[in-house]
Chains A and B, each alone.
Chain A
Amino acid sequence: MTASEYDSVRPPEPAGRRRRGGNGGRGGRPAGADGTRPGGADGAREAAMVPEVQFTSYYGRPVVKPVPWGPGIAAYLFLGGVAGGSAVLAAGAQLSGRLILRRNCRLAALGAVSVGAVALVEDLGRPERFLNMLRVIKLTSPMSLGSWILSAFSTGAAVAAAAEFDRMTGQRLPLGPLRPVLRFVESPAGLEAAAFGPLLAVYTAVLLADTSTPTWNHAHDELPFVFVSSASLGSAGLALVTTPVAEAAPARRLAVLGVVGDLVATQVMHRRMDPVVAETLRDARPGTMLRLSEALAVGGGIGTLLGGRRRGVAAASGLALLAASTLTRFGIFEAGIRSAKDPRYTIEPQKRRLAARRAAGVTDDSITTGG
């Protein structure tokens, strides 16, 4: 914090990015006057003539609290997407008679959703109370709806995968007289899981968007599209890794569609987002992850398109797509957490939208009133 009279003779600070994290000593004063320096990186650049939006905060402390979610939740975002997409692929394989693709995708769906569910429970403050998630059905709570979607999905996915496992192991499951029952419900269960698959892949986008976390909330129109695309390319990528090329044609097409969707949705998300909040998707670690994700998605997509019928290329492309999907989810997750920790991303866009509404003549809906 500087309060010296000589501050006035300092050269003007370039308006630009602020360092985030660990700058707890920032005072409740205009941004240009406080002690944060942009790392000396911009010293040579000409100072911007447009004054920075006046930004005041309470000692640089966050206004909203970041969600207390660990990397397990980010992993679940990825695993839930892979599981949902795999169930959809499995159902397609089931209907089109691709037995190996069906088996692999069913097992993938159950595997991914199981690990994801464990990660979810582990992240709770009171894991032993995880069943309270099914205490109510609450339409205003994406997490409540998600818990029900997850339960419904897992039921179908588990039955379908159990049938496959039983076949693979030569009827080793101790089912006894229930084996015909399993055979009978296997197909409907696979379709049921597929019906919930896209919902499982997409609800997490609403879960993130329906928060006060700036990055996630500002992306609420585009995040669902980013997530289903990422889920499509991720699950298709997994199928490319596990399944011989002869049966993987649908997975290749889904992978390419997923990559196209992912690139378009991500671009639109960046463009439409508040420019200040969009920084969180470009800067620091999340920015690196998202750029890497994009590169891997493009690489995986091109590999699939050009060399998808060669086993080695297909597997490598599949791995690239899986990595791309993981990085997308972790990048967006971390960008959100960072945006909540810096008051700038809460205060500036809010001030701007309030000013815009006032300029448009809407003066009756501010939380601050003169009387």
Chain B
Amino acid sequence: MPQLAGPTDPAADARWPDVKPRKGFFTDTSICIGCKACEVACKEWNHNPRDGDLDLLGSSYDNTGALGASTWRHVAFIEQGGERISEARATGRALVDLGMPGVGPSASAGPQAPARPEQAGPGPTGPGPAVPAQAGPAQAETMPPDTDEFRWLMSSDVCKHCTHAGCLDVCPTGALFRTEFGTVVVQDDVCNGCGACVGGCPFGVVERRTDGTAAPKTKRGERKGEQPEVPNLGVAQKCTLCYDRLVDDQTPACAKTCPTTSIKFGDHEDMVATARERVAELHAQGRTEARLYGANELDGVGGTGSVFLLLDEPEVYGLPPDPRVPTADLPRMFSRAGLAAAGMAAAAALSFLGGRR
């Protein structure tokens, strides 16, 4: 059995002869402007069909809903008032106080001394193409506008491409596989749509594609209205980290299109390093609500390939606060199951041997 938990290089673990550097995203939600260009670019490049009937969901500007079989990037919108903001600051500060690695700069700057920038302009306008702020006056101009009264969080969610991927572990057909870049991809011509991966994912990312309408499907391929044909019906679908582009040394569609560089793409190591730098920078500005998600290889999934910088607790964005790949407990489950099966056999033996009635 391969390694089921803990830090590892997944591509090497999958015994690729020519392991490429692990690729991943760093999604910096502090500079996301919610334009959804990533959602569109992803759909276009991957020929993903419409996801359900068009609807207003009443959740700020998010009418996409969630990641799914035909939605591999999803921009979350969260509107918060002053109370939530101070709570987020407090939980972020608590994280820093836990003594996580790499928090030096923030400790010296002190969370009580926020270097709040002047309000750059009216309304929640974007910061423009964010050049990584160095220091001095440039910083104030590239900082997002910030008030204590309200804020509007936007975050582009995506498959995490976990080091220990629950979906991949439980796939019975081998349709899901680990690429040489350490990412996780479904082979849609192999998948038979058993749905095991859907339950295996701790993040609710992968999904079996239906015909995309809310009504129960009566016949495969049938759908409401004038819509193009849906490819890969009935099989599991999720972000491939644009595997077809990676093999050509291209940037994934979402990262390529992101106008603010909120979605960064590169070698996983560099992404984690960039993320740590960025969170330290925000802490130094007094924005203690900033925290990283997925950058810790000791977590329940061995670290994620897609790292996020969040400005509140993960569950606020619909992310699990303490995900654990279910397969990590599989040896224990097997031993319990073996014990139970032996118990059943013993009970049966006892039934035949016990007394002659």
Contacts and interface: CB of A to CB of B under 8 A. Distances in A.
A351 B321 contact: yes
Contacts of B341: 198-199, 201-202, 224, 228
Interface string B200-217: 111111111100000000
B196 A139 contact: no
Given A56-B315, A363-B99, A370-B279, A68 B198 contact: yes
B177 to A, nearest CB: 10
B330 A368 contact: no
Contacts of A354: 321-322
B274 interface: no
B348 A232 contact: yes
Given A59-B59, A132-B175, A135-B173, A368 B292 contact: yes
A274 B111 CA distance: 36
Identify the interface centre among B57, B318, B327, B341: most chain A CB within 10 Å of its CB. B341
A63 B321 CA distance: 10
Interface residues of A, number: 97
A303 interface: no
B315 A343 contact: yes
Nearest to B173: A132
Interface stretch (A172-180, A207-215, A284-292): A207-215
Interface in B312-357: 313-323, 326-327, 329-330, 332-334, 336-337, 339-345, 347-352, 354-355, 357
A366 B296 contact: yes
Interface in A203-253: 203, 205-207, 209-213, 216-217, 220-221, 224-225, 227-229, 231-232, 236, 249-251, 253
B198 A65 contact: yes
A92 B352 contact: yes
A62 interface: yes
B299 A143 contact: no
A198 B345 contact: yes
Nearest to A1: B58
> Would you call the interface of chain A mostly helix, strand, loop, or mixed?
helix
Contact of B323 (A57, A136, A227, A367): A367
B265 interface: no
Interface stretch (B90-98, B134-142, B254-262): B90-98
A132 B199 contact: no
Contacts of B191: 125-126, 129, 132
Identify the interface centre among B58, B173, B202, B310: most chain A CB within 10 Å of its CB. B173
A203 B337 CA distance: 7
Contact of A347 (B315, B329, B342, B352): B315
A322 interface: no
A133 B174 CA distance: 9
B315 A85 contact: no
Given A140-B2, A370-B279, A125 B194 contact: yes
B291 A249 contact: no
Interface in A143-199: 143-144, 146-147, 197-199
A209 B326 contact: yes
Contact of B322 (A231, A254, A353): A353
B174 A224 contact: no
A198 B344 contact: yes
B258 to A, nearest CB: 21
B316 A58 contact: yes
Given A58-B78, A89-B348, A224-B339, A369 B100 contact: yes
B33 interface: no
B194 A368 contact: no
Contacts of B252: none
A212 B339 contact: no
Interface of A: 24-25, 28-29, 55-59, 61-69, 84-85, 88-89, 92, 95-96, 123-127, 129-130, 132-133, 135-136, 138-144, 146-147, 197-199, 201-203, 205-207, 209-213, 216-217, 220-221, 224-225, 227-229, 231-232, 236, 249-251, 253-254, 257-258, 261, 340, 343, 346-347, 350-351, 353-354, 358, 363-371
